[in-house]
């Protein structure tokens, strides 16, 4: 039996998926623009952010409508609550891609400080986390959501290594400071993206199991 709420949840899921695609695309464009030194690609990020913001509102409206009209309970209720939170994270992720673009544009106005090695690794790790948490949400895949939580540790470690290396650069050569700072900010933006993906994974776990695992809660 298909319930009216199933229809509405499916539409909502499509909306979140579309939004998630935009977020993935904007992270891809922002990081590739930086890595490949193709500043034109940053423009795409600013366009995508507008679409993401529109979806942010549409998703919220759909959630409120379902809450008001369908009075969801149990797994349905948890799913809507999780969606509301995931929506917020996705919107912030769009903002972080924009931040990467701003910092990246500034970085690209000067010659390369060094060949980027760890930063592309970190970017690829983060993009995989984003992909996985969205897949876990769509496919109701608990194991995949739990895997995202592990991956966040890798991202944090990469960020620390990048920071150490760039600090050493700045100490050696004052000429490097503004470029190193931009890269530090970008590493920080990527770290935040990983945190948002982690939040989404935690929300997926809550939607699927009813367990709130945030802040070591069990």
Partner 1 sequence: MGVEMLNSVELETLGLQAYFGQVRALHGVSLQVPRHELTALIGPSGCGKSTFIRCLNRLHEESPGARAEGKVLLEGRDIYAPTVDPVLIRRRIGMVFQRPNPFPAMTIYENVASGLILAGVRDRRVLDPVVERSLKQAALWDEVKDQLKKPGTRLSGGQQQRLCIARALAVDPPVLLMDEPTSALDPISTARIEELLVDLKKAVTVVMVTHNMQQAARVSDRTAFFLLGEMVESGRTDAIFTNPADSRTEQYITGRFG
Q: Name the one range near partner 1 by CB under 8 A: 51-59, 70-78, 114-122, 123-131.
A: 70-78
Interacting residue with partner 1 among 30, 48, 63, 72 (CB under 8 A):
72
Interacting residue with partner 1 among 78, 102, 106, 188 (CB under 8 A):
78
Please tell me the distance from the alpha carbon of residue 167 to that of residue 159, in angstroms, as a whole number: 12
Our finding on whether 73 is near partner 1 (CB under 8 A) is yes
Is residue 76 within 8 A of residue 5, CB to CB? The reply is yes
Q: How many residues bind partner 1, per CB under 8 A?
A: 13
Q: Restricting to residues 181-210, name those near partner 1 by CB under 8 A.
A: 209-210
Is residue 23 within 8 A of residue 93, CB to CB? The reply is yes
Q: Name the one range near partner 1 by CB under 8 A: 42-50, 60-68, 72-80, 112-120.
A: 72-80
Count CB neighbours of 50 within 10 A. Answer: 11
DSSP 195-211: HHHHHHHHHHHHHHH--
> Whose Cβ is closer to partner 1: residue 78's or residue 121's?
78
Query: What sections of 71-113 are H helices per DSSP?
Result: 74-108
Our finding on whether 68 is near partner 1 (CB under 8 A) is no
> Whose Cβ is closer to partner 1: residue 58's or residue 142's?
142
> Whose Cβ is closer to partner 1: residue 152's or residue 203's?
203
CA distances, 65 to each of 10, 18, 106, 193, 203 (Å): 14, 19, 42, 29, 20
What secondary structure letter does DSSP report for 40?
Answer: T
| 211: phi then psi, degrees, rounded to nearest 5 | -100, 130
Q: How far is the CB of 3 from partner 1 (least distance, A)?
A: 6
Our finding on whether 75 is near partner 1 (CB under 8 A) is yes
Is residue 50 within 8 A of residue 116, CB to CB? The reply is no
Where along the sequence are the contacts to partner 1 (CB under 8 A)? 1, 3, 5, 71-78, 209-210
């Amino acid at each position: 039996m298909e319930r009216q709420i199933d229809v509405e949840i499916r539409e909502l899921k499509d909306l979140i998926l579309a939004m998630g695609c935009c977020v993935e695309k904007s992270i891809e464009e922002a990081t590739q623009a930086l890595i490949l030194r193709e500043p034109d690609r940053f423009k795409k990020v600013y366009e995508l952010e507008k679409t993401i913001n529109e979806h942010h509102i549409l998703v919220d409206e759909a959630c409120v409508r379902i809450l008001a009209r369908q009075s969801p309970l149990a797994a349905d209720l948890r799913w809507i609550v999780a969606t509301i939170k995931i929506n917020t994270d996705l919107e912030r992720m769009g903002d972080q891609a924009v931040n990467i673009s701003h910092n990246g544009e500034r970085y690209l106005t000067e010659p390369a400080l060094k060949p980027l090695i760890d930063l592309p690794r970190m970017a690829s790790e983060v993009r995989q986390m984003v992909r996985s948490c969205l897949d876990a949400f769509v496919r109701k895949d608990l194991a995949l959501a739990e895997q995202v939580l592990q991956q966040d540790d890798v991202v944090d470690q990469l960020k620390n290594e990048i920071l150490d290396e760039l600090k050493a650069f700045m100490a050696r050569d004052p000429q490097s400071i503004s470029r190193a700072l931009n890269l530090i900010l970008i590493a920080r933006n990527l770290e935040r993206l990983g945190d948002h993906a982690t939040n989404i994974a935690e929300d997926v776990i809550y939607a699927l199991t009813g367990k709130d695992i945030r802040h070591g809660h069990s």
